[in-house]
Chain A
Amino acid sequence: MIRFLFKGLLRDRNRSLLPVLVVTVGVALTVLAHCYITGILRDSIEFTARYSSGHVKIMTRAYAENSDQVPNDLALLGVDELISNVQDDFPDMEFVQRINFGGLLDSPDKYGETKKQGIVSGIAVDLISENTKETERLNLAGALRKGRFPEKPDEVLLSDEFAEKLEVNPGDPVTLISSTMYGGMAVQNFVLAGTIEFGVEFMDRSGMIADITGIQNALDMQDACGEILGFLDNPRYNDEMAMQVEQTFNNKYADPDDQFSPVMSRLKNESLLSGFFEMVDMFSGIIIFVFILAMSIVLWNSGLIGGLRRYGEIGLRLAIGEEKGHIYRSMIGEAVLIGIVGSTIGTLIGLGFSYWLQEAGLDIGGIMKNSKMMMPSVFRANITPPAYYLGFIPGLFSVVLGTMLAGIGIYRRKTASLFKELET
């Protein structure tokens, strides 16, 4: 029976070509949309990992409990030894020091008095050591607007907007007023090396990137840092692997009775991100549901049109004595075949485009008026296991459902009026 129906579909292209094409296009779009949306959301998570949370993050217990306040008075001490130890424990990972800091940034006039000043929100990373990957990790090369990267500990990068507000250019001095990790007043002069565009509004308003050594000197944090970020070998976050690292580390180093003992938390457990993963899944699910629903309506409609288009053929088959149930079942069988063939071709095409977008990415830099920023301008698709079967939902079910609805009309046809219909 299946072979018979399949032959019928192959030989009568009027019956099969259009429905298969519609299903193929619909399914390919569904698969591509799913992969692209998932890719964009995953890219956002990766950006967060590279910028602030790492795949895993080590902090003191007290710092972790108050991490939204960036409490450098609760920072990790003896970090060189700690990093050396964890590097031995997890040789495939990379661990880097970070300090988040805030305060006031002041630009002096020619008499050394305040010309302009503003609240600063800064991040200290290893910018100048020989083998640092932080510049690349933060996409600083793509974000540089004026000047150059810092080459000395007392050189800093400012957001372009903030530098304009402070009326400073590369080479000008700026003074950071903040608190040392012991609560004392920290006043330190820096030189502006260059300006960058973060691509994140609040960072563009008041952002600063400094070398970790310069900030450690300024905030009296020698051999100390707020956070140690750990990055897995694979740039894509793997929660299972991160969880294993987290458990191994906490079993070895964390002491529940010491508020200054180091604790590790993985990206998924970060306070700001804990809900984000669920939100990503939910949001992705909603977008895909809406898309599938729209595609289903299109494909369902195609099934309905198919049924109506074959009005005459069905009449003839009824007239020569074929049972109504048999016609109905054979039409559904054909719809299943069309759905499977269209969904398979559509899934393959969708996966093909998605693979290309995953590897090459879509560069939206051109749309953004040539602006350079830390936010990635190339968005990539991400092929996940659901992409292999997701297209079959609209592809198969909606064609079958459309045909089933259209086919109900078969039972309403009256044999007595069939010949009259055929005469016309």
Chain B
Amino acid sequence: MKRFALIIFFIPAFIRAQEPTGKEILERIDKNMAYKSAITTSKMVIHGSRQTRTIEAKTWGIGDEKAFTEYLAPAREKGTKMLKLEDQLWIYSPGSDRTIQISGHMLRQSLMGSDLSYEDMMDNNEMIEDYHATVIGSEVFEERDCWIVELQAKTAEVNYQIRKIWVDKIRYIPLKEELFAKSGKLLKRMELSNITKIDNRWFPKKMIFKDMLKRGDGTEFIIESIQFNVNIPEYIFSKASLKK
């Protein structure tokens, strides 16, 4: 009887020992989501108030510092290019033949009318760098056991001060995210699906974004192809490439 009582006493401690900390979860997520370099072909399906638009783009990226995107379709957007170098963003529009730097409040504006902002697009930081994480519970989401992790921003410069993420307990990939302002107001909601194993990492190939302050039925971001850790020539990330 004494032995039985001892087992009962130690079971919760044993379970707690198996439960990863928020920091460990973020490290595992970053292993899946962050990359040194990648070339992505993607499709953005924007469900607006009046119509649905599909925008196709190809992006070359190195870590969270450099990214170059060329829009391939539709005709009105074709040839538009964006260059991100650290926290600066330039846009080239073939119609006006102008290279324009986007800064300040404009970075919070919608990207091509989607539910993503320029800041969202530019944000590829590892979460562990920007947030303190606390596991606040667990829940089944889309038939997967998930940790619910609350993230609190370490600095005021981070786009979203509070995030709540539902992390797959097996694959360590977020399946759902809620992004909040400092006041606690829900700003955006994301759902990540079509989780695929690519080069020994789990990666979501479909993300649905919903800007809670915007009309419309959200934006689907679909990755059609992605290659990780490829060599990308340095000249791509130059302002000269924008006009080519």
Which residues of A are at the interface with B, using a C-beta cutoff of 8 A?
A: 62, 66, 71, 73-74, 104, 106, 108, 112-114, 117, 119, 175, 177, 179-180, 182-185, 187-189, 220, 260
In the complex the two chains form, is B112's CB within 8 Å of A185's CB?
A: yes
In the complex the two chains form, is B100's CB within 8 Å of A73's CB?
A: no
Contact partner of B53 (CB less than 8 A), chosen from A71, A117, A175, A183, is A183
A-contact 0/1 string along B99-118, CB 8 Å cutoff:
11111011001101110000
Complex alpha-carbon distance, A143 and B99, angstroms: 33
Q: Does B157 contact A (CB under 8 A)?
A: no
Q: Does B63 contact A (CB under 8 A)?
A: no
Q: For this complex, into which size category does the number of interface residues on chain B fall?
A: 20 to 34
In the complex the two chains form, is A183's CB within 8 Å of B110's CB?
A: yes
Q: Which residue of B lies closest to A178 (CB)?
A: B109
Which residues of B are at the interface with A, using a C-beta cutoff of 8 A?
A: 46, 48-51, 53, 76-77, 80, 91, 93, 95-103, 105-106, 109-110, 112-114, 215-216, 239
With contacts A73-B49, A114-B101, A182-B51 taken as known, whether A187 is within 8 angstroms of B106 at the C-beta atoms is no
In the complex the two chains form, is A188's CB within 8 Å of B113's CB?
A: no
In the complex the two chains form, is A175's CB within 8 Å of B110's CB?
A: no
Give 9 closest A-B pairs by Cβ, nearest first.
Answer: A183-B113, A187-B93, A114-B101, A189-B96, A187-B96, A106-B100, A104-B106, A183-B48, A175-B98
Provide the residues of chain A in CB contact with B93, threshold 8 Å.
185, 187
Provide the residues of chain A in CB contact with B77, threshold 8 Å.
184-185
In the complex the two chains form, is A175's CB within 8 Å of B48's CB?
A: no
In the complex the two chains form, is B100's CB within 8 Å of A187's CB?
A: yes
With contacts A71-B215, A74-B49 taken as known, whether A184 is within 8 angstroms of B99 at the C-beta atoms is no
In the complex the two chains form, is A108's CB within 8 Å of B98's CB?
A: yes
Provide the residues of chain A in CB contact with B99, threshold 8 Å.
112-114
Can you show 24 pairs from A to B with CB atoms below 8 A apart?
A62-B49, A66-B215, A73-B113, A74-B50, A104-B100, A112-B99, A113-B101, A114-B100, A117-B101, A177-B91, A177-B106, A179-B110, A182-B53, A183-B46, A183-B48, A183-B53, A183-B216, A184-B112, A185-B91, A187-B80, A187-B95, A188-B95, A188-B96, A189-B96
Complex alpha-carbon distance, A182 and B101, angstroms: 23
In the complex the two chains form, is A177's CB within 8 Å of B76's CB?
A: no
Complex alpha-carbon distance, A184 and B216, angstroms: 14
Provide the residues of chain A in CB contact with B97, threshold 8 Å.
112
Question: Per DSSP, are chain B's interface residues mostly helix, strand or loop, or mixed?
Answer: loop
In the complex the two chains form, is B96's CB within 8 Å of A117's CB?
A: no
Complex alpha-carbon distance, A74 and B51, angstroms: 11
Provide the residues of chain B in CB contact with A188, threshold 8 Å.
95-96
Complex alpha-carbon distance, A134 and B42, angstroms: 46
Complex alpha-carbon distance, A179 and B109, angstroms: 10
Complex alpha-carbon distance, A188 and B100, angstroms: 11
Provide the residues of chain A in CB contact with B96, threshold 8 Å.
175, 187-189
Complex alpha-carbon distance, A149 and B110, angstroms: 33
With contacts A66-B215, A73-B50, A74-B49 taken as known, whether A184 is within 8 angstroms of B113 at the C-beta atoms is yes
Q: Closest CB of chain B to A385's CB: distance in Å?
A: 46
Using A73-B49, A113-B101 as known contacts, list a sample of 17 further A-B pairs with CB atoms less than 8 Å apart, ordered by residue number in A.
Answer: A62-B215, A66-B215, A73-B215, A113-B99, A117-B101, A119-B106, A175-B96, A177-B91, A177-B106, A179-B110, A183-B53, A183-B110, A184-B112, A185-B91, A187-B100, A220-B76, A260-B50
With contacts A182-B48, A184-B112 taken as known, whether A175 is within 8 angstroms of B215 at the C-beta atoms is no
Complex alpha-carbon distance, A66 and B100, angstroms: 30
Q: Which residue of A lies closest to B74 (CB)?
A: A184
Q: Closest CB of chain B to A113's CB: distance in Å?
A: 5
Q: Closest CB of chain A to B178's CB: distance in Å?
A: 23
In the complex the two chains form, is A112's CB within 8 Å of B113's CB?
A: no
With contacts A180-B113, A184-B76, A185-B80 taken as known, whether A73 is within 8 angstroms of B48 at the C-beta atoms is yes
Provide the residues of chain B in CB contact with A183, threshold 8 Å.
46, 48, 53, 110, 112-114, 216
Determine which residue in A66, A74, A104, A175 has the highest number of CB atoms from chain B within 10 A of its CB, and name it: A104
Provide the residues of chain B in CB contact with A114, threshold 8 Å.
99-101
Complex alpha-carbon distance, A117 and B89, angstroms: 14
Q: Which residue of B lies closest to A62 (CB)?
A: B49
Determine which residue in A119, A185, A187 has the highest number of CB atoms from chain B within 10 A of its CB, and name it: A185
Provide the residues of chain B in CB contact with A66, threshold 8 Å.
215
Determine which residue in A177, A179, A180 has the highest number of CB atoms from chain B within 10 A of its CB, and name it: A177
Determine which residue in A74, A177, A180, A184 has the highest number of CB atoms from chain B within 10 A of its CB, and name it: A184
Complex alpha-carbon distance, A177 and B49, angstroms: 21
Q: Which residue of A lies closest to B80 (CB)?
A: A185
With contacts A185-B112, A187-B91, A187-B93 taken as known, whether A175 is within 8 angstroms of B100 at the C-beta atoms is yes
Complex alpha-carbon distance, A62 and B49, angstroms: 10
Provide the residues of chain B in CB contact with A106, threshold 8 Å.
98, 100-101
Complex alpha-carbon distance, A73 and B110, angstroms: 13
Provide the residues of chain B in CB contact with A189, threshold 8 Å.
96, 98
In the complex the two chains form, is B112's CB within 8 Å of A117's CB?
A: no
Q: Which residue of A lies closest to B113 (CB)?
A: A183
Q: Which residue of B lies closest to A177 (CB)?
A: B100
Complex alpha-carbon distance, A260 and B105, angstroms: 30
Complex alpha-carbon distance, A235 and B49, angstroms: 37
Provide the residues of chain A in CB contact with B112, threshold 8 Å.
183-185
Q: Which residue of A lies closest to B104 (CB)?
A: A119
Q: Which residue of A lies closest to B71 (CB)?
A: A185
Q: Which residue of B lies closest to A190 (CB)?
A: B96
